Structure 1
Amino acid sequence: MREDCVRDRADGGHRSKPMSAVIREFLSWYNDYRHAHLVFNDPDGNTVRSKMENSHQPSYGNRYYARFKALERQVIQEYDNPHSCILTFSGSHKNANGDWRCPVDHLRDVIDTWRPERGGGVYHQLRQSLDGMEWEYCVGVEHNSKGYGHVHVGVFVDGEVAESDFHNVIDEHLRLCDIAHRDAHNYYHPDSEKKPISVRRIDPSLDPEDYDGSSDVVGNVASYLAEYIGAAADSELFDRSPQELYFRAACWASGTQRVRFSTGANEMIRHDRDESRRVETMGPVNHGWKPDATAEKIAEAANHPDRSATEWLEEPDEGCWTLQGIGRVDDEGETTFEIEQSTVQYREIHGAESLDPPKKLPPTRPIPESTDTSLVEYH
């Protein structure tokens, strides 16, 4: 976990702070971004300001949705017979003692089946199930009504697919995730809303306003995907539910990326951006803001946790931009603070296994309702 979310032990180890303290740390961190901006000098000597962003701000939700739309456009353009599938993976939020599970431990158990460090995994099973087909994916982590995380995987396939094509993918999660149970992953459930697999054919001619969720055809894939992943929320963080704040604090504390795209999907999104990019200019600070691709690039670099924005801005191709620091505005005017580029430090938590033992469930596959009561187990 982030070092500001742990406390040191006498033996040199680390223990997590209580959830209430972690949420305070998270909200304090988030609040520091409000009313703050990055201050630059451009190659002409003008002062340029760029908003400081983080992935929990409403504006970032808009950015995610724009990426979904870009991917949608490219899928429709490049695929002859585009289909989409949403896969859902979850796990029990109770531990073996019957208490509430640690949110970060729970999150790790659910997420880590996607691509384990060794051996196979859900991703490898998905690749095997779609062998010979062209496909890309995006992964989103979302919260449930209790504030615990579950995973949605949006898969885009060039060719017709059916729910049964993904049964083995769900089975792989059940096999690898000790806290996953077949009742929450029942692809035979009579209620389609409760199935962990949702397959739709993509039809760009379909009016999005006519889609009510009951059809097996979808037009606005970005809205369909964003509804599942929940990444396009446009309300201020402080207005969100306590359950969502618990979840986001757990993601922040553990460095969990809530939305990510496959390499191929990212390439499609970049291609769409290159096709639609317009070159505009941003004037001096007293002329106000104008949208600009360069401003977006420098803001992305300056907010990146693992790169030096100063070195990047001073590269010859970038025209020698200079990062002055972080600006804050109050009743007395603007104050600029010097900053140093650094990475977030994480600490491993020790000695808490007995406090939060996972509730291990038998790795049983879902079975049709007409099947006898005997369980289908893995061996």
Structure 2
Amino acid sequence: MDQFIDEMPVRAQRPISVREGTSIREETVSEKFGDSGFRSKSWSQSLREFLTWYNDYRHAHRVFRSPEGETVRAPLTNSHQPNYGDKYYARIKALERQITADYDDLYVAMLTLSGSSRNGNGGWRCPADHLRDVIDSFRPNEGRGVYHALYDSLRDYQWEYALVVEHHKTGYGHVHVAIFIDGKVDESDFHSAIDAHLRTCEIAHRDAHDYYSTDPSDRPISVRQVDSELDPDDYEQYDKVGNLGSYIGEYIGSYGGELFNRNLEELVFRASCWATGTQMVRFSTGANALIDRELDREEKEDAEPVVIPNPDFDPEIDASNKTDTKPFDVDGETWTLEGIGRVDADGETVYDLQRNGVQYQKIDGAEHLDPPNPQPPDQPFRRTSATSLREFNSETKS
């Protein structure tokens, strides 16, 4: 946290959110001075709370009661632990196996959606409000967003998707949309989806979503054919991808190392996601069904009664009294979850789930402290070799 304050002092002082009615973890909320209501803590204070929570989490475990009455303990996992990325990778590989079997000609498209991290006053945005603006363009509360544009343009195809939230080097987030399609597609099939993001996300920059860029690496759209027989050396030559799990996994970010050893930008980003219960990886309903079909097949091969971690359980969302989703599936009705155990110098203490659940608090609004920085909602400009972006910008300003 000291490094955050030293290297990014202005960002460190920003509240996590100032948007009316935003729900954030109670650890990151403080009461308003001299008035009723709540406001969010600063980004640096939220980072402290996040790291404290994570450190305590490492010393907790789940306590089960077996059919024979024996106590069985299992690690208590969360989405920020090093091995959690293995869960994501396993689910992507399960999806790859199932969707490759179901689709005759599998293509994967990757869309990158972002927004300005500067507010209308020229300062830094509150990170949760910024990320919400970017994410909400996929399925806006009102109107038609990125998903609806995809639904229209891919109406003749069978397709599923996954959303991956990742951090910039600034500590702010952006979204990758991985779309799995049965049939040949190209970048133009996804122009309308990028246009929908520019239209519904008022902080989205046109020049950051230029699908006509002469440099393919700068475009917000990438399309590749999936070929499981592909030689890794031919990856770029044929514009294909052989290992879909590794390809998608690259966008999830680092997960192999201990959290405390990761770079500052990822830590502050994860702190804002943790504070707001933001899922960092999310699959479409159909993709989840394919994944569960694969995992169900694997689980049936084991005839012994076991406690199985629930792959759909997300601690930041489901560990509360507002959901019936459990962190485990039990093969056999006589297995029971006793609670969450913690061990200290006095021995083990077991807490029930209700006491251990995540509590959220809605904050009062102070939007004037963080006005968005609206961008022109125009579609990217089709450029030729004789037309530079600088020329186009000068034309639009005149």
Q: Shorter-chain TM-score category?
A: 0.7 to 0.9
2:26 is aligned to 3
Question: What whole-Å deviation, never above 9, does each CA across 1:279-326 have from its counterpart, x for those lacking one?
Answer: 1648xxxxxxxxx5x34359959994223759987xxx7332233333
Q: Distance in 2 between matches of 1:211 and 1:61?
A: 27
State yes or no: 1:33 paired with 2:50: no
Given that 2:279 and 2:314 are in contact with CA atoms closer than 8 Å, whether structure 1 keeps it comes out as no
Name 1:288's counterpart in structure 2.
none
Q: Establish whether residue 58 from structure 1 lines up as the match of residue 72 from structure 2.
A: no
Give the 3-state SS of the residue equivalent to 2:309 in structure 1: helix
State whether structure 2 residue 277 is matched by structure 1 residue 259: no
Are residue 225 (structure 1) and residue 242 (structure 2) matched? no
Residue 80 (structure 2) pairs with residue 67 (structure 1): no
Query: In the alignment, which residue of structure 2 is the partner of 1:337?
Result: 350
**Amino acid in structure 2 at the alignment position of 1:151:** V
Q: Distance in 1 between matches of 2:153 and 2:379?
A: 17
TM value normalised by structure 2 = 0.84
Letter aligned with residue 335 of structure 1: E
Compared CA separation, residues 299 and 229, structure 1 to 2 (3 A): closer
Corresponding residue pairs, total? 361
* Aligned residues of 1:50 and 1:299 also touching (Cα < 8 A): no
* Residue 296 of structure 1 pairs with residue 309 of structure 2: yes
1:158 aligns with 2:182: yes
CA 1:299–1:34 in structure 2 vs 1: closer, same or farther (change >3 Å)?
A: farther
Contact 1:14/1:348 (8 A) holds in 2? yes
**Structure 1 residue 99: deviation in Å?**
0.9
Please give the per-residue CA displacement for 1:208-243, whole angstroms capped at 9, x wherever unaligned.
x4255564111101111111232x621111111111
Match of 2:258 among 236, 248, 271: 236
Q: Cα 1:280–1:298, aligned 2, differ >3 Å: closer, same or farther?
A: farther
Instruction: Give the conservation status (yes or no) of the 8 Å contact 1:52–1:299.
Output: no
Give distance in 1, aligned partners of 2:145 and 2:271. Answer: 27
**Structure 1 segments (4+ residues) deviating >6 Å:** 310-313
The answer to whether the 8 Å contact 1:84/1:201 transfers is: yes
Q: Distance in 2 between matches of 1:311 and 1:185?
A: 41
SS of aligned partner of 2:137: coil
Code of the residue aligned with 1:210 in structure 2: it is: D
Residues 226 and 84 from structure 1, CA distance in 2 versus in 1: closer, same or farther, beyond 3 angstroms?
same
Of the three residues 162, 169, 187, the one matched with 1:145 is: 169
Aligned to 2:293: 271
CA contact (8 A) 2:309 2:327 kept: no
Matched, 1:324 2:347: no
Normalised TM-score (structure 1)? 0.88
Deviation per CA, 1:141-180: give whole Å up to 9, x if none.
0001111000000000000000000001001100111111
Distance in 2 of aligned mates of 1:176 and 1:142: 20
CA distance in 1, matches of 2:51, 2:94: 31
Identity of aligned residues (%): 52
In structure 2, distance between residues paired with 1:13 and 1:214? 59
Q: Report the Cα offset of residue 66 of structure 1.
A: 0.4
Contact 1:308/1:341 (8 A) holds in 2: no
- Cα deviation, 1:242-275, whole Å, max 9, x if unaligned, reads 1101111111111111111000000100111123
Q: Using a 3 Å threshold, how does the CA distance of structure 1 residues 348 and 319 change in structure 2: closer, same or farther?
A: closer
Corresponding position: 1:245 with 2:267: yes
Structure 1 residues 229 and 191, CA, compared in 2 at 3 Å: closer, same or farther?
farther
The answer for the alignment partner of 1:307 in structure 2 is 324
SS at match of 2:39: strand
Return the letter of the residue paired with 1:268.
L
Alignment CA distance shift 1:299-1:167 (3 Å): closer
* Structure 1 stretches lacking a partner, 5+ long: 283-291
How far, CA to CA, are the matches of 1:310 and 1:169 in structure 2? 35
What's 1:119 paired with?
A: 143
Whole-angstrom CA distance in 2 between matches of 1:310 and 1:58: 18
Match of 2:193 among 137, 153, 169: 169
CA distance in 2, matches of 1:127, 1:250: 31
Corresponding residue of 2:204: 180
Give the 3 Å change call, closer, same or farther, for CA 167–321 of structure 1 in structure 2. Answer: same
Query: CA, structure 1 residues 311+192, in 2 after alignment: closer, same or farther (shift >3 Å)?
Result: closer
8 A contact 2:313–2:325 mirrored in 1: no
SS of 1:347's partner is: strand
Say whether the 8 Å CA contact 2:309–2:328 is kept in structure 1: no
Q: Distance in 1 between matches of 2:328 and 2:95?
A: 31
Q: Which moved more, 1:294-303 or 1:334-343?
A: 294-303
Contact 2:310/2:326 (8 A) holds in 1: no
2:101 to 72, 77, 101: 77
Structure 2 residue identity aligned to 1:202: V
Whether the aligned pair in 1 keeps the contact of 2:144 and 2:196 (CA below 8 Å) is: no
